[in-house]
């Protein structure tokens, strides 16, 4: 998703360039398919084996490869170098676990060799830049632009927006909150919160959006078995009177759903071992944003947003604090409005010019040298 605004900008500036987008899953392409400009090709990324990589380069013969927020694959990187293909790493990040692994004495020469093949590395944060420097990336190829995830919020068309008018009407005059991108184990937290909120407010609607659609269907079946009134998105079920839980088991609709809820609780952050999710789409929609403490590399996004406005995103410690904050937002319209405005303010401040900065770096470090 972070690649799409760069692709669009590239085709505006360099319409003669042919672009191939690779993803590791078909589900990712299904989400992006309607957003890609015409003429952009797609295929699944090759396995990182010498035979697959050689076949890939032999068939596509690329001039440059932009790797976006991906793990580093040795055969791909060395193969690109051997074939004279320029390499750039955009929104470059490395998990603490990966950094620790690559820092080991016997792996450091390999990662150092791999990073030496890049013409451009745009790290996600200062911390990430230091990590790449410690792994011996050439200092001159490391440049900053801002987080491309901030450009995701408003770069997508709203062709599906019309399908949400009915749901918007069903949610009118309700106290609505949404738990988005939740992982296994977090549904227990969110449903427990829903139960407590129902004891305080009889007009609450909780929208639950699991990270994976099959998880949503499992939650739906369990709730139905326990006698709850619940609606499932993929079955086009309506929020009939008495139905107060809406399960979304579809892909690619979060950006539309954020515009239907005043409050977004970003999942992947309430169970130890998880690493958070992107908050920029919720901020672009002007939601009051709450998240847990386990946000991984998204701690940088939290820090950036809070630096613009401390009220833009609130980290809560868990179940009890989340219930307390949601109750406050439901009962204090001024506090809710302040947090909504703050989130949008942070988005506007952080998204401005990011794609242009990335493009200028790509142009100067890669395209002028390899695609003149």
Over range 142-146, report the average pLDDT.
93
CB 85 within 8 A of CB 65: yes
Is residue 231's pLDDT more than 70?
yes
The length of the chain, given as a count of residues: 372
Of the pLDDT bands very low, low, confident and very high (cuts 50, 70, 90), residue 161 is very low
Q: Quote the CA–CA distance of 131 and 99 in Å, as a whole number.
A: 7
- The reported pLDDT for the residue numbered 31 is 81
For 263-279, how does the pLDDT look when each residue is reduced to its tens digit (9 = 90+)?
A: 999 999 999 999 999 99
72 phi, psi to nearest 5 deg: -90, 125
For 16-43, how does the pLDDT look when each residue is reduced to its tens digit (9 = 90+)?
A: 999 999 999 888 888 888 888 999 999 9
Over range 76-102, report the average pLDDT.
94
Over range 356-365, report the average pLDDT.
94
Transcribe 181-199 into DSSP letters: EE-TTHHHHHHHHHHHHHH
Q: Which residues pair with 121 in a beta bridge?
A: 89, 142
Per DSSP, 152 falls in state: T
Q: Quote the CA–CA distance of 268 and 287 in Å, as a whole number.
A: 18
Q: Quote the CA–CA distance of 36 and 39 in Å, as a whole number.
A: 8
Q: Quote the CA–CA distance of 359 and 90 in Å, as a whole number.
A: 10
Please report where in the chains the tokens 């360039």 appear, as a residue.
17
Q: Quote the CA–CA distance of 250 and 276 in Å, as a whole number.
A: 20
Nearest to 282 by CA among 217, 233, 351: 351
Nearest to 64 by CA among 80, 50, 46, 52: 80
- The reported pLDDT for the residue numbered 6 is 94
For 293-339, how does the pLDDT look when each residue is reduced to its tens digit (9 = 90+)?
A: 999 989 999 999 999 999 999 999 999 999 999 999 999 999 999 99
The tokens for 142 are 């490391």
Orientation angle between helical segments 354-362 and 3-13, nearest 10 degrees: 60
Transcribe 107-154 into DSSP letters: THHHHHHHHTT-SEEEESSHHHHHHHHHTT--GGGB-----GGGGTTT
The tokens for 328 are 């406050």
Q: Quote the CA–CA distance of 358 and 121 in Å, as a whole number.
A: 10
Mean pLDDT value across the chain: 93
Within 201-286, residue ranges assigned H as helices are 213-225, 254-257, 280-284
Orientation angle between helical segments 50-60 and 74-82, nearest 10 degrees: 40
CB 313 within 8 A of CB 290: yes
CB 224 within 8 A of CB 230: yes
Of the pLDDT bands very low, low, confident and very high (cuts 50, 70, 90), residue 153 is low
Half-sphere exposure of 302 (CA within 13 A, CB side): 20
Nearest to 16 by CA among 369, 367, 300: 367
What percent of the chain lies above the pLDDT cut of 70? 97
- The reported pLDDT for the residue numbered 45 is 94
- The reported pLDDT for the residue numbered 156 is 57
Residue 180: how many CB atoms within 10 A of its CB? 26
């Amino acid at each position: 998703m972070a690649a799409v605004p760069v692709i669009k900008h590239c085709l505006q500036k360099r319409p003669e360039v042919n672009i191939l987008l690779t993803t590791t899953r078909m589900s990712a392409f299904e989400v992006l398919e309607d957003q890609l400009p015409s003429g952009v090709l797609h295929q699944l990324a090759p396995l990182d084996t010498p035979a697959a990589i050689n076949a890939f380069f032999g068939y596509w013969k690329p001039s440059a490869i932009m790797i976006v927020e991906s793990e580093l694959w040795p055969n791909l990187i060395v193969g690109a170098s051997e074939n004279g293909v320029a390499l750039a790493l955009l929104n470059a990040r490395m998990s603490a676990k990966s950094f620790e692994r690559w820092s080991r004495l016997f792996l450091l020469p390999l990662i150092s060799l791999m990073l030496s093949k890049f013409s451009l590395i745009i790290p996600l944060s200062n911390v990430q830049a230091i990590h790449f420097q410690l792994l011996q990336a050439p200092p001159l190829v490391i440049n900053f632009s801002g987080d491309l995830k901030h450009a995701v919020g408003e770069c997508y068309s709203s062709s599906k927006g019309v399908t949400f008018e009915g749901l918007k009407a069903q949610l009118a005059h309700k106290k609505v909150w949404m738990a988005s991108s939740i992982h296994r184990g977090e549904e227990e937290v969110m449903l427990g919160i829903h139960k407590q909120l129902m004891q305080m407010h009889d007009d609450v609607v909780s929208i639950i959006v699991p990270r994976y659609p099959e998880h949503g269907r499992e939650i739906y079946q369990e709730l139905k078995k326990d006698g709850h009134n619940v609606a499932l998105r993929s079955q086009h079920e309506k929020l009939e009177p008495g139905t107060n839980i809406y399960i979304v088991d579809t892909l690619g609709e979060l950006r539309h759903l954020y515009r239907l809820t005043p409050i977004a609780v970003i999942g992947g952050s309430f169970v130890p071992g998880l690493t958070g999710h992107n908050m920029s789409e919720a901020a672009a929609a002007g939601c009051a944003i709450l998240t847990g403490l386990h946000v991984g590399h998204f701690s940088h996004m939290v820090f950036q947003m809070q630096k613009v406005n401390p009220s833009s995103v609130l980290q809560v410690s868990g179940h009890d604090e989340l219930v307390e904050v949601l109750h406050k937002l439901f009962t204090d319209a001024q506090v809710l409005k302040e947090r909504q405005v703050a989130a949008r303010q942070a988005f506007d401040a952080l998204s401005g010019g990011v794609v242009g900065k990335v493009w200028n770096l790509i142009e100067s470090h890669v395209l002028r040298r390899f695609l003149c």
